[in-house]
Amino acid sequence: MSPIPPSRRERALAALPAVAVVALALATAPAQLRTAWQWLQESPRGIARGAEAARREAFGDAFTAVVESLRRSIPANGSYAIADDSKGRPERNWLRCDLAPRTPVLLLPQACGGFVLDRTFARLPETAVVVGPDGATRIAEARTLLSRLWSGLADPEAEVPGWMDAPGEGARAAGRVTVEGWCQERGGPPCAAIRVWVDGRELDSARVERFPRPDVCASVAGMGDCTRAGWRLSLAPGEAGPGSHCVAAALIAGGGRFRRVGPWAFTVTP
């Protein structure tokens, strides 16, 4: 003979001891546990409102307005750029969290102004959010933020022997400044071209002079004929007045292979 199943009343009475134990546990639990229990009972909408309020309190209305604008303008499956000059502030991480699942493309600040892509293969989004050193945020067109350095040099760098000797990194120069160095392919051919930037502005490559560098042949094996291994470009008055400046060069060998040197800062004294 099969057993008779318990009635609904009998099941309710059997559950009373367990309910009493849970109620007693909640009544005697620490305040933190009771708070957690209340938090879990809130709706997701309420939790979201609490997170937004916390964000506004921590970072201000301007930050929240940037987030809301990007959410409206960028599809959930889209991407955006973060121009990060935040010096380790947390706003960048908040942005990544608040804008997920949108894909962030990181732009890193150059030593002498402007930003560059963290990954050369990343496709640059149209919209960027700039996180400043003080945590202030603003929306900008991504391409306007990119440094003009290395214009047209998107391929990976190659092993091109050469360097920029002057002005050195952190150097102090008096009067007229000459940017100079050397570049030579192994076996004798001098570099095909030298490109020079000062304060982010490219100078006319026709001004670059070539001259002998016997010291290069003496110190670096396999250089061959170094009668045109040296290069220099004298800056005109007004191109680098008293104060801090930035210099960079690209040493370009045959077939378009190149090596970047710099950017780094130097100071011109009166």
State how far the alpha carbon of 2 is from the alpha carbons of 7, 151, 201, 267, in Å.
15, 87, 93, 98
**Residue 204 tokens, joined:** 């006319």
State how far the alpha carbon of 133 is from the alpha carbons of 44, 174, 258, 263, in Å.
33, 32, 33, 21
Q: Could you say which DSSP state residue 42 is in?
A: S
Distance CA 198, CA 242 (A): 14
What confidence score (pLDDT) does residue 87 get?
A: 85
Cβ 104 vs Cβ 81: under 8 Å = yes
- Phi and psi torsions of 185, nearest 5°: -75, 145
**Residue 259 tokens, joined:** 């090596």
Closest to 106 in 3D by CA, of 82, 70, 127, 86: 82
Instruction: Please confirm whether the linkage preceding 101 is cis (ω < 30° from 0).
Output: yes
Tell me the whole-structure pTM to 2 decimals.
0.60
Q: What amino acid occupies position 221?
A: A
Domains of the chain: 47-145 (no CATH), 162-269 (2.60.40.10)
**Residue 94 tokens, joined:** 């908040």
Residues β-bridged to residue 146:
115
What confidence score (pLDDT) does residue 15 get?
A: 47
* CA 187, 188, 193, 197 torsion-angle sign: positive
What confidence score (pLDDT) does residue 80 get?
A: 95
What confidence score (pLDDT) does residue 213 get?
A: 95
Write out the chain's pLDDT in tens, 270 residues.
445 555 555 554 454 455 444 454 545 555 554 455 454 555 555 555 566 676 677 677 888 888 999 999 999 999 999 999 888 888 888 889 999 999 999 998 887 778 888 877 678 899 999 998 888 889 999 988 888 788 888 788 899 999 999 999 999 988 889 999 999 988 878 899 999 999 888 999 999 999 999 999 899 888 888 999 999 999 988 888 899 999 999 999 988 899 999 888 999 998
- Phi and psi torsions of 158, nearest 5°: -120, 170
What confidence score (pLDDT) does residue 7 get?
A: 57
What confidence score (pLDDT) does residue 154 get?
A: 75
Report the chain's terminal Cα–Cα distance, integer Å: 110
Q: What amino acid occupies position 52?
A: E
